[in-house]
Amino acid sequence: MLSGAAVFAAMWRAVPLLRPLGLATRSRWVLASLEQFYLAVLPIRPRLQWVFADR
C-alpha cells in the first residue's frame, strides 16, 4: 500500500506523458522532497479546491 507522494509517483509512472516525472521520483531525495511539498500543501488543500473549483 502506498501513501502520500508515493501514490502520485506511482500514478505518474502509469501515465505515458508523465512517466519521466514518475521515474524521477525513484530517486530517494526527489521522492523525499516531493513528500515534504505534499505535506506542506495538504493543510491548505481545501482552500485550493475552493479557489480552483468550477464556478
Distance CA 1, CA 19 (A): 20
Average pLDDT of span 20-36: 96
5 Cβ contact partners less than 8 Å away, ≥ 6 residues apart = 25, 31, 34, 35, 37, 38
Supply the range of the domain harboring residue 11.
5-52
Percentage of the chain beyond pLDDT 70 is 98
Model pLDDT, residue 55: 65
Model pLDDT, residue 14: 97
Confidence of residue 4 (pLDDT cuts 50, 70, 90): very high
Model pLDDT, residue 54: 75
How many domains does the chain contain in total? 1
Q: What is the pLDDT of residues 7-24, one digit of tens each?
A: 999 999 999 999 999 999
